[in-house]
């Protein structure tokens, strides 16, 4: 009788990049980003912390940043399970929050 089968495990990961042009400056964007992310990700599911002008985000299976670069809000995230299985929804919500913050 053959022994137990082994299967290689892997972690599916997905990279997400969202870019939204804006004319706003960082002081105004800080407040707008905090408000928009709170609206689109209520209940404390998405942890946020500012490190100078970079907003660091983390949640179940996701880590990312949002920064302003040459008049463009750039959101980047690495998604692992369970977040990678909800990529479409996460992309939609983050895009809406960035557009809202960008004005």
**CATH number, position 85:** 3.30.310.80
* Rounded CA separation 57/50 (Å): 9
Q: Is the overall model pTM greater than 0.85, yes or no? A: no
Q: Does 90 have pLDDT greater than 60?
A: yes
How high is the pLDDT of residue 9? 38
User: Does residue 57 belong to any structural domain of this protein?
Assistant: yes
For 82, the domain range is 16-102
Q: How many domains does the chain have?
A: 1
* Rounded CA separation 92/46 (Å): 15
User: Does residue 7 belong to any structural domain of this protein?
Assistant: no
User: Does residue 10 belong to any structural domain of this protein?
Assistant: no
How high is the pLDDT of residue 13? 67
In tens, the pLDDT along 6-59 reads: 444 344 468 999 999 999 999 999 999 999 999 999 888 889 999 999 999 999
* Rounded CA separation 48/44 (Å): 9
How high is the pLDDT of residue 45? 81
User: Does residue 4 belong to any structural domain of this protein?
Assistant: no
């Amino acid at each position: 009788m053959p022994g137990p089968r082994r299967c290689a495990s892997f972690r599916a990961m997905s990279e997400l990049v969202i870019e939204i042009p804006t004319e706003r400056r960082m002081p105004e964007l800080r407040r707008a980003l905090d408000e928009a992310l709170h609206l689109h990700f209520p209940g404390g599911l998405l942890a946020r912390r500012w490190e100078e002008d970079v907003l660091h985000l983390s949640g179940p299976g996701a880590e990312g940043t949002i920064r302003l670069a040459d008049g463009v809000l750039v959101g980047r995230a690495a998604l692992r399970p369970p977040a990678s299985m909800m990529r479409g929804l996460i992309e939609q919500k983050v895009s809406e929050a960035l557009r809202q913050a960008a004005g």
